[in-house]
Structure formats: C-alpha cells, structure tokens
Amino acid sequence: MTTNWENFQSQILNIKAEFDRAFKCLNKTNLPSAATQAKHINILVRQHNAFATTLKTFSPFLIETHKFEAENIFKGIKLKLKNILVRLEISDRVPDDFESIFGLKIIEQDSDEEAEEEENLKKTPEKLPSKTNKMTTVNEFLNVVSKLIPEFDGSVEKLSMFINALTLIDTLKGNHEEVAVCLIKTKVSGRAQSLIGHLTTINSIKQELQSKIKAESAKAVASKLLALKQKSNENVTYAKEVEELSLKLEQAYI
C-alpha cells in the first residue's frame, strides 16, 4: 500500500507542477497572444485528464486518507481550470466528478512572430533544431512514462494494475507509441514477456495479456480448497496453501 501511494503521489505532484506552470502563464494581468493562450489551455486540459486517469487507476489501491488528499489536490486543479476558462470567456464546463475526461480542445494557430520565425528557419536549414527538440520531447516522455509503468511478472494478481497503467500511457503517448511499446517490454518478465514480444501497439499488448492471463474459475479454485488436506507435520505449508487459494477464489469472484 505504501509503495502504491508513493508512486501515485509522485505522479500526481508531477502532473500538478506541469498544470501550475501553464496556469501561471495564463493567469496574468495582461493576457498572452491567442496562440499562446490556446497552447496553455490545451496543456491545462491534458494535465486535468492525466490526473483523472491516474486517480482512477490507483483509487482501488488507496486508503481513504490518501484518496481524500488526492481528491483535494484535484479539486484545486479543477477550480483553477474553471476560473481561467471564465476569464477567457470559454463556455465549456469542467467535469465536476473525479473520473471524467474533459473533451475541450483548442485549435492552436501560429502567431505572426512564430510564423515568421518558422519561415526564417526554412531559409537556414542548417540551423534547424528539430532533431534536438525531438530528442528532448522523447526524453521527457520517457521520464514520465517510466514512472507510470509498474514491473509485471505475468501474474494474475498484478494484471489489473498493469493494464490500468497501459491505459494511462495510451492517453499520453501522442506520437511516441513506438517508444512507449519498447519501454513497456522492458517492464515485463516471465511468461508475459513471450506473449507480447512480437506486438507493436499498446492496445494489442493489453488485449493479448487480458486474453491469455486469466484467473482460475471460482469452481476450480473451490474444488482445490475442498481437496486440500492437512498433514500433521506441515501446518505452516497447509496454512499458506489455504491463504493462496482463498485469495485466488476471491479474485475469481471479482
């Protein structure tokens, strides 16, 4: 539980920090250009949605006090987003609940200065920093995603959390799916590694794992419990087997 909270807390604080940076750029007496406004509004919406998805992913594994703390942080993000939309006279309504994705998307258009700069760069291709910028973007993506994906050994018990993490990555991937898939494969071991080795998309990885890694049926586990016999000199082993089968039975019913 502690590991889940520390991982989750790190992620939501990173999301909040990125949100606050974009909010600060918009929350000024003199508003920036329309192009800059659009850029930062989209960042605010993306961070809102990342928070919603992350909270939904980890919520089942959090104790009430941690969940309450996370929801309070999210309330602050929602309030800031609502206020900035009112100030910019954007009528779209921020979702009140903690799980819904906000569908607002502002079309970003280059300002005159940005267009002029792009035209100048076209005239001097030797100075184009596109490769460097691309690498920086990939590095930032890898830095965030590597913290979101837990280690997965192919066990049924860890499948749900791993799938939830992949769902979150899928919403953040942008143009980096190939990189994301490579990183996902480094987090997988055991039987699961052989299942996804040939796959090239996040969605295909999710489908393959969900179709091939399944818990035993409740009937099968119950039969094993009934058939389990205690030997007089193996009390500890017997108790462990009962505990493991009981957990499997619970998961089967879930």
* Cα distance between residue 140 and residue 34, in whole Å: 26
97: three-class secondary structure by DSSP? coil
Tens digits of per-residue pLDDT, 21-72? 999 999 988 888 888 999 999 999 999 988 988 888 888 888 899 999 999 9
Query: Is the pLDDT reported for residue 140 higher than 90?
Result: no
Predicted local distance difference test score (pLDDT) of residue 130: 44
Alpha helices by DSSP H, listed for the chain, are: 2-26, 34-58, 64-87, 112-123, 130-148, 156-172, 177-186, 191-196, 202-212, 218-227, 235-253
Query: How far is the C-alpha of 101 from the C-alpha of 94, rounded, in Å?
Result: 9
Average pLDDT over residues 147-173: 85
Encode pLDDT of 99-119 as tens digits.
899 988 888 765 554 555 455
Contact 41/88 with Cβ under 8 angstroms? yes
State the sign of the Cα–Cα–Cα–Cα dihedral 156, 162, 166, 167: positive
Encode pLDDT of 216-245 as tens digits. Answer: 555 555 666 566 555 544 555 656 666 665
Instruction: Read off the pLDDT band of 128 (50, 70, 90).
Output: very low
Farthest-apart Cα atoms in the chain, separation:
86
- What pLDDT sits at residue 253? 47
**pLDDT higher than 90, residue 127:** no
Selection from 168, 169, 209 nearest residue 188 by Cα: 209
81 vs 170, which has greater pLDDT?
Answer: 81
Q: Residue 233: its pLDDT value, please? A: 47
Between CA 157 and CA 246 the distance in angstroms is 13
Measured at the CA of 174, the angle between CA 169 and CA 178, to 5 degrees, comes to 75
Q: Of 218, 159, 152, 207, give the one whose Cα is nearest residue 183.
A: 152
CB contact set of 53 (below 8 Å; sequence gap of 6+): 101, 167, 168, 171
Average model confidence (pLDDT) for the chain? 77
- Domain ranges in the chain are 2-108, 138-212, 218-253
Q: Is 188 helix (H, G, I), strand (E, B) or coil?
A: strand
Distance separating alpha carbons of residues 24 and 80, to the nearest angstrom: 10
For residue 94, pLDDT beyond 50:
yes
Spatial separation of the C-alpha atoms in residues 55 and 184, rounded to whole Å: 20
Please tell me the predicted confidence (pLDDT) of residue 202.
92
Question: How many angstroms separate the CA atoms of 165 and 131, rounded?
Answer: 29
b/e string for 175-199 if b means 16 or more Cβ within 10 A? ebeeebbebbeebbeeebeebbeeb
Write down the pLDDT at residue 157. Answer: 76
Residue 82 pLDDT: 94
Please compute Rg for the chain using Cα positions: 24
Higher pLDDT, 247 or 89: 89
pLDDT over 50 at 135, yes or no: no
In angstroms, rounded to a whole number, what is the distance separating the alpha carbons of residues 37 and 113? 15
